[in-house]
Amino acid sequence: MKRLFFEKLFWIIVLAIILLGCVTVKKSIGENATATTPTPDNFGCSPPPSCDSMNDPFARQFCEDWRAGKDVWSTIPDCSFMATEGCRKLCQEKTKGKTKQMSSIPSGQLPAGMPNVPSMDDVPQMPSSSDLLFHPRKPFCIETDDYRAQLVYVRPADAPDRYDEISKNLKQWMPQANGIVNNEAARFGMTADIKVACKGNEISVLNVVLPKSASHYNTHDGKTTLAVVANLKELGYGDSKVKYILYYDGDADGCEGGKAKCSGQFSSKAQDDRPSEDNGYNSGPDYSILYDVGFSELVQKTHSTLEMLAPIGILHEYSHTLGAVQSSAPHSSKDGTVESGHCNDEHPMNEGGNDVMCKSDKPDTVFGDACQDTGFVFRYDCNNDDYFNPKPEAGSYLATHWNIGSPLNHFFMFGTAEKSQAGLGDYSRYGNVPGDYTKYSAGNFPTPPSK
């Protein structure tokens, strides 16, 4: 009983922190983030539009109380835990001079009928906020010459070596990015994992030093990726079965029409929406890249954290190299260039959207709100009708065009899940629902769900 009590108690605290911070955290994610002007009432921090997707009863009750205007702030143990500046300010304003309810129980004492707890050793270790948001799941390890993603730490010849620090981060961010993909597949009773190069069953991160100085690669015209990739190919990193995920430890200027530093880019190729195993996106070499200086600046602009933005950035740029989003897709933002490839059925994440791939490089794009009722879950294709669907309906766009969720995709491993873990609070605390990891072969496409 005492373990159950404290487990529920701590879930209230942790999930409350997630709920209160997540609204504005998700607004802060994006390549072209814009500042949110706080209001005197809530500093830009507001309750979610719906509580329906919250399976945990304590999280749902907290959400419903907040939407009903009840005082929920006294349950937050420390405002510094809030994920965004706006919610931290609101928390501080609401709790000024108030006593926290969670601290009103003296140590070692519980309500009547509950046994005393001699120490905090009985309190279970809780996952972090990022664990609850991303459902981290280890990617599918590849230690052979199979199709795979390869993580690479890259730096100019004159840059200090931060491999130990960055490689550790990359090994943490990759399971979080993979968790978003797998959580989407779980909606269909499936597992889907990014195939990643490993060594000794641990994610491999290569350490590459480029032959020239930082000034050579910062082209100031948004084309640093071309310069970096050219030298990587000269060094032998051009395997046709590999898509390289790069973390470039340097600067790149000239993005957004020459007005901003680049935070992330990818090597482009001609769009190909054929539902065929020889689709141009189904082989390498391809290169997606995060720039250290530009991405760190994006974190500061959005008042977020590197830990929150990096997994999204990695998955966004990598998905471009997999073929997301085709211009022929129903909700393509139709930026009109192969360097783009986004959706418009959800607002960009920095404007409160859910979809990892929704944004636009055009100022007049009209966005929808197709998945706002899904709450705080990061979506890997809102409504699964533009780029990812493991079980598309016969005759639908993704059944007749290139589909990252198809078993034809060389770079994902698909399997069947014992049960769906979509949504907060489901099943294991890290979202690791076991699957048989049996790869579907071409021609053995999963049966679409009946309506």
**Neighbour-count burial of 349, counting CB atoms closer than 10 A to its CB (0-12 exposed, 13-18 middle, 19+ buried):** buried
pLDDT of 22 reads 39
pLDDT of 335 reads 65
Low-confidence residues of the chain, pLDDT below 70? 1-41, 44, 51-62, 73-88, 97-132, 257-258, 335-340, 373-376, 418-451
Q: Which two tokens stand for residue 87?
A: 């919610």
DSSP string, 241-287: TEEEEEEE-S--EEHHHHTEE--EEE---------STT-GGGS--EE
Could you tell me the CA-to-CA distances from 64 to 19, 54, 102, 168, 224 in Å, in that order? 11, 10, 19, 39, 48
Contact residues for 234 (Cβ-Cβ < 8 A; gap 6+): 211
pLDDT of 129 reads 59
- What's 334's DSSP letter? -
Closest Cα to residue 184, out of 436, 356, 24, 14?
356
Contact residues for 311 (Cβ-Cβ < 8 A; gap 6+): 130, 134, 173, 174, 176, 177, 180
Residue 391: alpha-carbon gap to chain centroid: 22
pLDDT of 76 reads 58
Instruction: Compute and round to an integer the Cα radius of gyration of the chain.
Output: 22
Which residue spans within 131-223 are E strands per DSSP? 140-142, 148-155, 190-199, 202-203, 205-209
Location of structure tokens 């404290």:
6
**Sign (positive/negative) of CA torsion 413, 414, 418, 421?**
positive
Q: Are 435 and 181 in contact (CB under 8 A)?
A: no
Residue 424 forms beta bridges with which residues?
none
Our CA angle for 283, 284, 288, nearest 5°, is 120
Rounded Cα distance between 232 and 267, Å, is: 12
Could you tell me the CA-to-CA distances from 196 to 106, 170, 199, 201 in Å, in that order? 49, 12, 10, 10
Could you tell me the CA-to-CA distances from 371 to 14, 53, 347, 376, 393 in Å, in that order? 24, 11, 10, 10, 19
Contact residues for 335 (Cβ-Cβ < 8 A; gap 6+): 341, 342, 360, 361, 362
pLDDT of 87 reads 66
Q: Which two tokens stand for residue 38?
A: 């706080």
- What's 152's DSSP letter? E
DSSP string, 83-103: SSHHHHHHHHHHHTT---GGG
Q: Where are the domains of the chain?
A: 2-103, 130-416
- What's 155's DSSP letter? E
Could you tell me the CA-to-CA distances from 63 to 42, 55, 82, 135 in Å, in that order? 16, 11, 16, 20
Rounded Cα distance between 66 and 49, Å, is: 11
The H or E element that residue 8 is part of is helix 2-27
pLDDT of 193 reads 97
Each as own residue / partner, the long-range contacts of residues 430-434 (CB below 8 Å, 24 or more positions apart, any chain) are 430/127, 430/131, 430/135, 430/136, 430/137, 431/134, 431/135, 431/136, 431/137, 431/179, 431/182, 431/183, 432/137, 432/138, 433/186, 433/191
pLDDT of 324 reads 94
